[in-house]
Each structure stands twice: as C-alpha cells, then as structure tokens.
Amino acid sequence: MPEVSAVSIEAQFAAARAAWQRNDVVRAETLLRGINARDTRHEDAALLLAEVLRSQGRLSAASQVVLELCRAKGFEAELSLRGARFAQQCDRHPIAAQICAEALARGTPPPALRVMAGHIARESGDFETARAHYLAALDAGADLEHSHVLGALANTKRYTDPSDPDVARLTRHFHDAAFSPRSRAAAGFGLAKVQNDLGDYAEAARTLREANAMVRGVQPWDRSTWRAFVAARMAERAAPAWSAAAPDFVPVFIVGLPRSGTTLTATLLSRSSPARDRGELRALRFIGEQLIGGAHLGNASALTEAMRLYRVLAVQDDAPATWYIDQDPLNFRWLHVAAAMFPQARVIHLRRDRRDTALSLWSQDFAHPDMAFAYGFDDIADYAQGHDALMRHWRQTLRIPIHELDYEALVAEPERTLAALRDFIGVPAIDADARDESAPVQSASVWQARQPIYKTSVGRWRHYAAYVPELERFG
C-alpha cells in the first residue's frame, strides 16, 4: 500500500472529527481506525478514537487504544499519565497499572506519575504497592498543594505506632500556613484517620473540627438550593420509556446517604452472585440532569433514548451479565428517572445509624462538589432530611420495588442478609471464593471495602460522643 501523506491523514482526521461532532460514531470510528493503522503515533486520532469507543460503552477497547498509543510513543511520561488517568476513569485498572509500570520503568518519571500509580493500586486494593508509590512520589518532590498524596497515604494501612513517620508528615503539612486551606485540610483528614486508628479520639475530633472548617471556608454548601432540588424532584413525573421490561438486563441501584454501606453491599453482592458491579457509574445522574435541564422528562422518546444510553454504559464490553449493580449512593435523587427507563430495576436502600453516618461523613475528605454538605453537622442534618423526604416520596409513588437494608444487619449476619438480597433481585448464589468481580473503589470507602467484614464501625460514634456532642442530635 503506498504511503499516505501527512496532508491526507490530517484531512481524514478532520473528517473523523466532523463525523464525531454530528454523532456519526460508526463513520468516525472507521476513519480513525484507518489513521491508526497507518500511523500508530498519531496522538490526536488515537485519543479521539478512545473517546468514540468510550461513548459507546466499549471501555476495554478504548483503554486498549490508549495503551497502544503509549507503547507506540515509548511511554512518554506526560502521555502515559494522561493515558493511565483515562483507563482509570474507565475502571480498567489493570490497563492503567500497565501503562504506569511501563512508563515508570523508563528514565526518571515525574512525581505525578508515581502518585497516579499509587491511586490505581489503592483503588484496586493493593495497599502495599500504593504506599510504595506514594512514598516514592514524596521523595521525588510531589506537588503537595494539588496532589493530596499525604491524605491518600494515610488510607493505605491501619496505624498502630504513634511514632510512625507518616504522623510527622501529616502533622507538618496540616499546620503549614504556606499551603492553601484545602491542601492542609486534606492532610488533616488523613491525620485524623491515623489518630482514630491509634484510639486518640479526642485529638482526632480536634483535628477534624479544624479540617472541616478549612473546607467550609472555601467550599460552601447552600441549603436553600438543596431544599429547592428536593421539592422539584417530588413535583416531577417522568414519562415511561417505549419498551417492555427487558429480563436480560436488570439494573440494581444501591442508594442511600453516602457512608451508609453502599460500597460494601455492592462488593459483597457481586462476590456472591453473578451480578456485575459497575461501581459509582455516574450515568443516571448525567441522564437525569440532561433530561430535566432540557425539559425532556415528559418525553417518552427522550426517555427511550436515555434508557438505551444507560444500558450501553452499564453493559460495556467485558464479560456479559444480566444484573448490573450501580452503587452510586446519590442515585436516590433520580429514582423516578430510573423507574421510567427500567420497570424491571431493583433498588436497595441502605440505612445506617444516623450518628455513625454523620460521623463518617464528617471524617472524610470528598473530591466531588456534590458532597459539600459533609463538612458541617447542620448541613449534614439538612441533607439527610431531604434524602429521607425523597425516599418516602419514591416509596409512595414508584412501582419499582425498594428493599430496605440496615447496615448493622449486613455486618452482623452477612450470609443471611446477602441471601435475602439475592432473592430480592432474583439472582442465584455462587461460590464467593471462586471470583472477585467487585469494581475498583474510587470512593472514600476504598479501605473499608477491601477489608474483611468487621463490626467495629457499628456504634463508632460513641468514641466521639464526649468530643463531638453534635452527634446526639442524630440519635
């Protein structure tokens, strides 16, 4: 085949980009694969092809394209960092880890690549490897202002020694006024986690008060906006999609207040059944926002299109299943949309002692702005009231079944509780030791979800009752 000139390749790329912009994904993919076959180093074409594939739920194929691009370009550090982040966002952590490993083996890697490798290992449950990467990043001069690597480091082990070097690292950064309040707060949450591990609850409470105040100062939460949101959802009605219930696709939405046990439930359910855990999929919130923002909630055609999109994003291109778990706890905000798209859906609603939930929220550093309510107890209480009101409304108005699950029952009698959950969603049991199909954990529950079931988190608020009297209001 004669060599194609750079001009013709660029013309082909322009045509591919135009096809992508008019949503002709088939044409865009064909053109981009043609470019990729001729020039494996064409970065723009490969990255656009990966985006085209990701939009179709073909996350394994998309991540593989990025891996091959990184390989063709000798695993250049900045491209590898971008590629690893892409694969991480696709929940294809083995590919992300491979990109990091290949890039780290070449030359002197930037600290940011070490940090990314640490995140990928930690989210995959390999805490020892994550620690090694984080410590190497710190030794190499990681950007402590923006990477928040110290807080991540604190969540790679349980601390038993008050003289552990991590304590000094976290304390020093937490009190260093040269850094922004947000950066210092991230270290503060990590320090409080260490203090909690060591049983120094009084000091942990003092650290958390200061860290939460730092975040509230730069990331406020508006209660009136939240109340208006809840009222608007309760006033809405969604048109049903034009389709009968599909028995070959059953979405399972695990919802509740964050830190109420949604990640643990999804992890255990996917290990003991053929249900596939998609983590916090974030697709339902995107669909809900688009439908409502465009005034399409009453349009059956739009709901049908949304239904097809959600199914594509959930099924993806790995091993097929029938039951797909979406463990985003904040999906409780959009259950009317879920019910309109999928009358066969099942909802598991987590409930946990509200004092433990409030303490756990107040003890965590969250990346997403949706969690801005978590840094003050008045805001947590207001958010919880809105959650409770919406769940009462859904139970009264939606036809999809909702199973109420107490976190305390799950940790006290896991086998019995999981059997009831399997019966509820209609999925058979499998040998939990035969596979681990749980998704990578990118939420604040990453440490807890990877540990054996333990009961010490039940009633944990009592350790803090003398130092955080606000918890009593949640009783």
The predicted-structure confidence for 92-126, as pLDDT tens digits, reads as follows: 999 999 999 999 999 788 999 999 999 999 999 99
Q: Is residue 470 part of a domain?
A: yes
SS3 letters for the chain?
CCCCCHHHHHHHHHHHHHHHHCCCHHHHHHHHHHHHHHCCCCHHHHHHHHHHHHHCCCHHHHHHHHHHHHHHCCCCHHHHHHHHHHHHHCCCHHHHHHHHHHHHCCCCCCHHHHHHHHHHHHHCCCHHHHHHHHHHHHHCCCCCCCCCHHHHHHCCCCCCCCCCHHHHHHHHHHCCCCCCHHHHHHHHHHHHHHHHHCCCHHHHHHHHHHHHHHHHHHCCCCHHHHHHHHHHHHHCCCCCCCCCCCCCCEEEEEECCCCCCHHHHHHHHHHCCCCEECCCCCHHHHHHHHHHHCCCCCCHHHHHHHHHHHHHHHHCCCCCCCEEEECCHHHHHHHHHHHHHCCCCEEEEEECCHHHHHHHHHCCCCCCHHHHHHHCHHHHHHHHHHHHHHHHHHHHHCCCCEEEEEHHHHHHCHHHHHHHHHHHHCCCCCCHHHCCCCCCCCCCCHHHHCCCCCCCCCCHHHHHCCCCHHHHHHC
- What is the extent of the structural domain holding 440? 224-474
Q: Is residue 172 part of a domain?
A: yes
Do 163 and 307 fall within a single domain? no
Q: Is residue 116 part of a domain?
A: no
**Last residue in a domain, options 219, 237, 252:** 219
pLDDT score of 154: 97
Do 190 and 238 fall within a single domain? no
pLDDT score of 3: 47
Whichever domain contains 326, its CATH number is: 3.40.50.300
Q: Is residue 91 part of a domain?
A: no
Instruction: Give, for all 475 residues of the chain, the pLDDT tens digit.
Output: 344 466 689 999 999 999 999 999 999 999 999 999 999 999 999 999 999 999 999 999 999 999 999 999 999 999 999 999 999 999 999 999 999 999 999 978 899 999 999 999 999 999 999 999 999 999 999 999 999 999 999 999 999 999 999 999 999 999 999 999 999 999 999 999 999 999 999 999 999 999 999 999 999 999 999 999 999 999 999 999 987 778 899 999 999 999 999 999 999 999 999 999 999 999 999 999 999 999 999 999 999 999 999 999 999 999 999 999 999 999 999 999 999 999 999 999 999 999 999 999 999 999 889 999 999 999 999 999 999 999 999 999 999 999 999 999 999 999 999 999 999 999 999 976 655 555 666 555 555 555 566 677 899 999 999 999 999 999 8
**Last residue in a domain, options 187, 219, 251:** 219
pLDDT score of 440: 67
Do 291 and 339 fall within a single domain? yes
**Last residue in a domain, options 219, 234, 260:** 219
Do 266 and 186 fall within a single domain? no
Do 397 and 438 fall within a single domain? yes
Do 180 and 196 fall within a single domain? yes
Do 337 and 368 fall within a single domain? yes
Do 272 and 411 fall within a single domain? yes
Q: Is residue 132 part of a domain?
A: no
Do 332 and 442 fall within a single domain? yes
Count of structural domains within the chain: 2
pLDDT score of 107: 79
Do 229 and 334 fall within a single domain? yes
Q: Is residue 70 part of a domain?
A: no
Do 420 and 315 fall within a single domain? yes
Do 282 and 398 fall within a single domain? yes
Q: Is residue 448 part of a domain?
A: yes
